[in-house]
Structure formats: C-alpha cells, structure tokens
C-alpha cells in the first residue's frame, strides 16, 4: 500500500493553464493520475487536455470531489494558491513552485497545521506511488512498483537513485520529494513514520543533504523503527557558508555538516552509502528474502506479504 | 541578501529599536569629522562577515586625529578576505551587560524561532547550550508581549531591563516580518551604566526570493564577480577552489557530482546548477561561464527530467562551434529525457558521452590531472 497518495487521489492542478501546468497535467494524466480539474483565476470554462478548468479550487472540489492539489502557480501567487487549496479542504497539497518567499512558506505551514492538511514542498518534484499515481514532475521511467519507500530532499538526485533501484529490480511503494527550501511541509520523520506503518513498505531510503537538522531528527526517529533504513547524503565537499543551490543546503554556524549527519545516521544503525550507486546494493542486503521485489512480476500481492 | 551593519541598523531604527549615533565614512577625513561630532567613537569595518572584531576590524578613537589615523589603517585593507571600503563611526558605548537576541526562519519547526542568551557579545556558536533560550513563534499570531516576558524570565532578566528587552524583541520581530528576513540579530544588545538598552550591532539577512516586494530596501551584492554574473543570468553558481568545472541539473545531483569528483581525488572548481528546463542558449551560456574560469577539465552531468538531453547536446555543439572546439578535456554524461536524440547529436559532432556518473567522474578526474601535468 502506498503512502499519502494512491489510486483514490483525485487531483486538481492549480495553475493548469500555464506552460508548466499544462505540460505536467498531461504527463500526470498519461501516468494514470486522476486529474479531475484545473484551476486558474479568470480561466474558468476552459479545458486543458480534456480537463475542465475552474476559477476557484472550491468549484473543483464541489464538482469533482477533488481531494488533492498540485500547485504550479508562480512564486508571487503561490501562498494565495496554497491557502485556497487548504481552505477548500484538500488533504494533500503538493507545491512544485520554487522561489516562494520563506515567510510565505511559514504562513502556509501554519495554516496547514491548523486545518490538518498535508503539504509536500515547496520546491519539490512531488510524490509518486509507482503504478498508481503521480503528483509532480518526476520522469515516470525511473520508477516501478515494489517494496522500497524513498524520501528525498532533492529531485534529480532521487531520480538517479530511484532509477538505479528500479534497474536492480527494487521497485517502490512511494517516493516523496520533501523540497529543497529551508521551510517545507512534510519532513523526513513524518514520511518515515508513514513508511513504518505501511504494510507493503519493507525498507526505506533516505536521501539527504547538508544544511538544517532534518537528517539528524530522522536518525533519532529511526532508532525506534523496525524497518531498515539506508541513507545517502550529499554535500561532503561543500564549504561552510556557501548555499549549494538549495536554500536549505548551507552549513551555517557550524550546524548541518555532512559529518554530523552521517554520524547521527550511523549512530541510529542506518547504513550510509558513500556513493549514490551503492544505495541499491545496500537496500538489496537489508530486504527480507522471498517476495517479488518489482512490479515486473506484479509485485503487489504476489509475495503474499501484506 | 545580507545587509551591512549600518543598513541593518537603519532598518532597526525605523522600527523604533535604539541604536548608537553614528556616521558611515569612506575616508579618514570623514572619520575625523564624525569623531569631532560624536566624541569617543568606535570605528567598525562594514563587511559581510562575522568575527570582524577578532580580525582587527573594530578600533577606537577619542580625537579626530586618532580617528583619521585608525580609519587610514582600516580602509582599503582586506579583513576576512573582504575589501574594507566603508567604516561605521559610532559612539563608543559603555557596557554593563551584553545580551544576544536573534530571530530566524527555522526549518525544523517551520516557524520563526527566537534565540536569546545573556552571554552576548560573542558568536552564538561559542555560547554553551545551557545559556541559550529558544522560543518558537506562531506566525499566525506573531510575537505577543507575554512571550517576551517569558523569554526574559528564562534569561533571568528582571525589572526595567526585562521591560526594555521585551519592547525591543517585539520590534525586532516586526522587522523580521516586515522585511521578509531569514535572520535578524542584535549581538550584542547592550545595557549601559545608566540602565538603557541599545543595539550595539545588527544583522539583517533578507530572503532573496522576497526582494521583489521590497523596493524600499537597499540592494547589497554579495559574492564573487562570477557569482553575480551567473545570478543575473538566472543560474545557480558557486565558486570553489579546485580545477574541474561542473555543470549538472538540480542542486542535489550537482552536489553529488562534486562529492564523487572529490571521492576520486579531484577538486571541483565550481558548482553550476543549470536547473530544470533551461533551453539551448541558456545552457550554452552556462557552459561559457564555466569555461571562462579556465578550468583543467569540464564535466557535464545531466539526468534529464524537465531538462532535455537534446537541448544540452545542442548547447555543447553551439559552444564548440563558437569557440572552435574545447581547449580542455570535456566529459559528458547524458541520460534521461530525449537521451537518444542527445546522444545522436553528440556522436555526429565527435563527442562521446557516458551513461553513468561513476565512469564520467573517474574519467574527468584523470583528464584534469593529465591536463594539469601539461600546463
């Protein structure tokens, strides 16, 4: 069973009439995601790829029982879009938009907390439950259904690792992109908790990076987990004080260093891969023997694990 | 965007936070005049780096002549690798107590976080954990006065000092929100012998992503000339001290590429994240930017998602045609969206491309070493 999103997820795409929105709406549809509606202020009544577009998210919920949103709205309007989605009662809100002001992100997370909404991102590639649904911009070819849960801060790096796992016959239950910004919604601990509770996930992969303390917190939580966790962390060669592309990826005040993170993860019994292509091998070592590992053989239910 | 101390203090002052009287000067004469007007002064270099006191960037003077002499000694020098162009000449404070207080946009709690300590005056990293008070603030409601009283109590501040501290903290929170700050900091917040409290130093780092809505704030450019050029072109570029230029797409994979180069014994010269979906011309410009630093070798590592491999291949061909070929070893790894088209374009123009990061990284390290040997 995947976590957070699955075949019951009914999506409204916010910013559906923009270039990115149109492109990825079609890609998501092609993957099998139930894209019910789009929303774009002033564009109500239009269609994108056969999907009706409304002026407000509220209408998309009313007419199509949408329960999740993917936001492609440009950064200056993204806070408004996220508040609209949360206020409309959507349970899962995936914010693809990058360069959202950090104070807007803090406001979004505060409102989401009050309403119990799950926010993924901002500045994320999204979330995919292979074979079921994808809410985001990730290339579908990198993934296959299977028993591994992946949670990553970074997009392209997680494609790299997911595709290596897929090539090794290790499919995924769900792959979650937390987002590269300093303030994001879902964090490692919350995602690991859900993987721990998910009967189909048998091992977790954590892809972290320097900066902040999210990996250290994940390590602390992982001590209580029954399922094995494999980690890979980037930024070993990053000098302090330099922001390495992501707003969050910066060693500040001597905190958030590569060494500190690896030490915390290893102290929690997590094996940390030195190189990205070692991840698949380490996962194969910790996976329980027996069940079909990949969607190629119809992984769901085939191994009788759930 | 980091603001210089004097600019941060101007913003603080506009929000009612007391600051010492001072003048920004660029010449010894200016420093003398400021001293004449103010009396006993501190001359503080205006650079975007902490630890300037330890590095000799703060001097004192009692007479205009002394101020001019001290200014002469500071202006034009390099402190912590940064050229000193401006001094803040400020009234020298009498100090009874030094307090640290700051507010950051905190990733762990996703909320504003107040950090305070009675062990002010030194870098907060050097303060023992038991002397640090932290308080998360809900941005929905903001920082109400009762919170400042709680924080003051935990700091064991009492009476009028606690009252002034609370008043300044509420104002500092207003600065934090009003300027879209990632960080505001007063260190030290000084209690003077007469009991009044004043911000002796100030830091204000504004979120770059929010600058569009702050035309009222000054613009401070921080970074090397190349970093500024890249920023103007919309690229994420970071300069490092090695000799292998690296272009990749996405911050995570770029960092991983640097790590792997180091793993194989190479040293990355820089970090260029071409981001998602850059077109042919933007990618070509990115490559030109990297080459202008005269690296020993160039590694292009692309896992195309939004980025299309054929665009990257065309960009490489464009650059090769403009420059009459690459003067340094070029190692390409190109997979993902439109991979076949990209590989075909490269082959047609006599470039070879690797399929894995591993091979490509090992190859570029060897190539750079070989090229360095000839130089």
Domain span at A32: 10-120
Using a CB-CB cut-off of 8 Å, the residues of chain B touching A158 are: 252
pLDDT at A293 over 60: no
pLDDT tens digit sequence for B165-183: 999 999 999 999 999 999 9
The correct answer on CATH 3.40.50.2000 for the domain covering B97-213 is: no
What percent of chain B has a predicted confidence (pLDDT) above 90? 71
Residue in the block written with tokens 């200016």: B30
Nearest to B255 among A155, A163, A238 (CB): A238
Query: Residue A129 falls within a domain, yes or no?
Result: no
Residues A51 and A114 in one domain: yes
In terms of CA atoms, which chain A residue is nearest residue B223? Answer: A242
**DSSP H or E segment with residue A206:** strand A203-209
**B225-374 sits in which CATH class?**
alpha beta
Distances (CA, A) of A76 to A22, A81, A277, B111, B292: 19, 10, 38, 20, 34
Please write the tens of the pLDDT for every residue from A105-153. Answer: 999 999 999 999 999 999 999 999 999 999 999 989 899 999 999 999 9
| Residue A3 located in a structural domain | no
Contact B336, B307 (CB under 8 A): yes
Residues A204 and A240 in one domain: yes
> Does residue A133 fall inside a structural domain?
no
Check which CATH number belongs to the domain holding A75 and give it.
Answer: 3.40.50.720
- Most A CBs within 10 A among B113, B251, B260, hence the mutation to make, goes to B251
Same domain, A95 and A164: no
Catalytic residue (choose from B5, B90, B98, B100): B100
How far apart (Å, rounded) are the C-alpha atoms in residues B207 and A248? 12
Count the domains in chain A: 2
Residues A186, A213, single domain; the answer is yes
Same domain, A99 and A156: no
Of residues A247, A6, A9, A223, the one with CA closest to residue B107: A247
Q: How far apart are CA A124 and CA A98, in angstroms?
A: 8
**B185 among known catalytic residues:** yes
The one-digit pLDDT tens for each residue of chain B (375 residues) are: 999 999 999 999 999 999 999 999 999 999 999 999 999 999 999 999 878 888 899 999 999 999 999 999 999 999 888 889 999 999 999 999 999 999 999 999 999 999 999 999 888 878 888 999 999 999 999 999 999 999 999 999 999 999 999 999 999 999 999 999 999 999 999 999 999 999 999 999 999 999 999 999 999 988 777 788 887 777 788 888 899 999 998 888 899 999 999 999 999 998 888 766 678 888 898 899 899 888 999 999 998 777 889 999 999 999 999 999 899 999 999 988 889 999 999 999 999 899 888 899 999 999 999 987 433
Burial class for B208, CB neighbours closer than 10 Å (0-12, 13-18, 19+) = middle
Which residues of chain A neighbour B336 with C-beta distances below 8 Å? 139, 159
A177 and A237 both lie in a single domain:
yes
Nearest CA in chain B to A207: B252
- Mark whether A151 and A284 lie in a shared domain: yes
Of the partner residues B108, B112, B358, the one whose CB lies closest to the CB of residue A212:
B108
Element holding A84 (H helix, E strand): helix A75-87
CB atoms within 10 A of CB A267: 13
Q: Which residue has the tokens 């505001």?
A: B184
Judged by CB atoms closer than 8 Å, whether chains meet at B256 and A160 is answered as: yes
Residues A107 and A182 in one domain: no
Closest-CA distance of chain B to residue A301, Å: 31
The answer to whether position A125 is within a domain reads no
Residue A288 belongs to some domain of the structure: yes
The CATH number that applies at residue A264 is 3.40.50.261
A173 shares its domain with A234:
yes
Which tokens go with A99? 């360069």
pTM, entire model? 0.92
pLDDT > 70? residue A303: no
> Is B111 within 8 Å of A253 when comparing Cβ atoms?
no
Instruction: State whether A174 and A280 are in the same domain.
Output: yes
Q: Tell whether A259 and A221 lie within a shared domain.
A: yes
Q: Are residues A217 and A266 in the same domain?
A: yes
The structural domains of chain B, with segments of one domain joined by +, span: 21-91, 97-213, 225-374
State what percent of residues in chain A have pLDDT above 90: 81
Q: How far does the CA of residue B78 sit from the closest CA of chain A (Å)?
A: 19
- Is ipTM over 0.85? yes
Which CATH code of 3.40.980.10, 3.30.70.360, 3.30.1490.20, 3.40.50.300 fits the domain covering B21-91? Answer: 3.30.1490.20
């Amino acid at each position: 069973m995947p976590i957070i999103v699955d075949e019951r997820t009914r999506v409204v795409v916010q910013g559906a009439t923009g270039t990115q929105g149109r492109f990825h709406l079609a890609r998501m549809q092609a993957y099998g995601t139930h894209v019910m509606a789009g929303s774009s202020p002033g564009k109500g009544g239009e269609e994108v790829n056969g999907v009706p577009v409304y002026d407000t998210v509220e209408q998309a919920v009313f007419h199509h029982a949408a329960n999740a949103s993917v936001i492609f709205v440009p950064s200056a309007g993204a806070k408004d879009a996220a508040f609209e989605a949360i206020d409309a009662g959507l349970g899962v809100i995936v914010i693809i938009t990058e360069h959202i002001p950090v104070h807007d992100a803090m406001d979004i997370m505060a409102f989401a907390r009050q309403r119990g909404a799950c926010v993924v991102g901002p500045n994320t590639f999204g979330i995919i439950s292979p074979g079921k649904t994808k809410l985001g911009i990730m290339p579908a070819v990198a993934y296959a259904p299977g028993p591994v849960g992946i949670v990553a801060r970074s997009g392209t790096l997680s494609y790299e690792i997911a595709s290596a796992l897929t090539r090794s016959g290790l499919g995924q239950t769900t792959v979650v992109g937390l987002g590269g910004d300093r303030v994001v919604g879902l964090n490692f601990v919350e995602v690991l908790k859900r993987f721990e509770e998910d009967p189909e996930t048998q091992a977790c992969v954590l892809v972290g990076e320097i900066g902040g303390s999210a990996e250290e917190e994940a390590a602390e939580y992982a001590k209580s987990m029954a399922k094995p966790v494999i980690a890979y962390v980037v930024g070993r060669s990053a000098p302090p004080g330099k922001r390495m592309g992501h707003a969050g990826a910066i060693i500040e005040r001597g905190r958030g260093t590569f060494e500190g993170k690896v030490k915390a993860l290893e102290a929690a019994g997590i094996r940390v891969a030195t190189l990205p292509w070692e991840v698949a091998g380490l996962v194969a070592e910790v996976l329980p023997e027996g069940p079909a590992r990949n969607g190629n053989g119809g992984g769901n239910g085939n191994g009788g694990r759930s | 965007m980091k603001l210089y101390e004097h600019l941060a203090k101007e913003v603080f002052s506009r929000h009612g936070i007391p600051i010492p009287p001072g003048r920004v000067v660029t010449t010894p004469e200016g420093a003398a005049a400021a001293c004449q007007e103010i009396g006993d002064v501190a001359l503080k270099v205006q650079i975007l780096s902490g630890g300037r006191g330890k590095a000799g960037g703060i001097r004192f003077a009692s007479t205009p002549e002394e101020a001019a002499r001290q200014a002469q000694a500071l202006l034009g020098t390099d402190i912590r690798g940064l050229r000193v162009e401006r001094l803040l000449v400020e009234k020298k404070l009498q100090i009874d107590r030094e307090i640290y207080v700051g507010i950051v946009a905190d990733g762990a709690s996703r909320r504003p976080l107040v950090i305070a300590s009675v062990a002010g005056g030194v870098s907060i990293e050097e303060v023992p954990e038991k002397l640090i008070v932290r308080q998360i603030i809900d941005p929905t409601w903001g920082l109400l006065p009762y919170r400042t009283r709680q924080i003051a109590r935990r700091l064991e501040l009492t009476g009028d000092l606690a009252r002034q501290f609370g008043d300044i903290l509420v104002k500092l929170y207003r600065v934090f929100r009003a300027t879209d700050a990632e960080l505001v900091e007063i260190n030290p917040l000084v209690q003077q012998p007469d009991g009044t409290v004043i911000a002796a130093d100030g830091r204000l780092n504004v979120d770059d992503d929010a600058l569009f809505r702050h035309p009222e704030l000054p613009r401070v450019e921080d970074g090397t000339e190349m970093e500024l050029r890249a920023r103007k072109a919309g690229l994420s570029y970071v300069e490092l001290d090695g000799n292998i230029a690296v272009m990749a797409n996405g911050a995570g994979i770029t960092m991983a590429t640097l790590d792997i180069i180091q793993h194989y014994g190479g040293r990355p010269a820089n970090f260029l994240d071409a981001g998602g979906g850059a077109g042919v011309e933007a990618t070509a410009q990115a490559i030109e930017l990297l080459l202008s630093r005269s690296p020993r070798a160039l590694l292009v590592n692309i896992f195309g998602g939004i980025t299309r491999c054929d665009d990257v291949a065309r960009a490489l061909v464009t650059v090769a045609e403009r420059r009459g070929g690459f003067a340094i070893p070029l190692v390409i790894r190109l997979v993902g969206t439109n991979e076949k088209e990209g590989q075909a374009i490269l082959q047609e123009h006599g470039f070879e491309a690797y399929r894995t990061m591993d091979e490509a990284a090992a190859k570029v390290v060897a190539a750079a070493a070989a090229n360095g040997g000839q130089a």
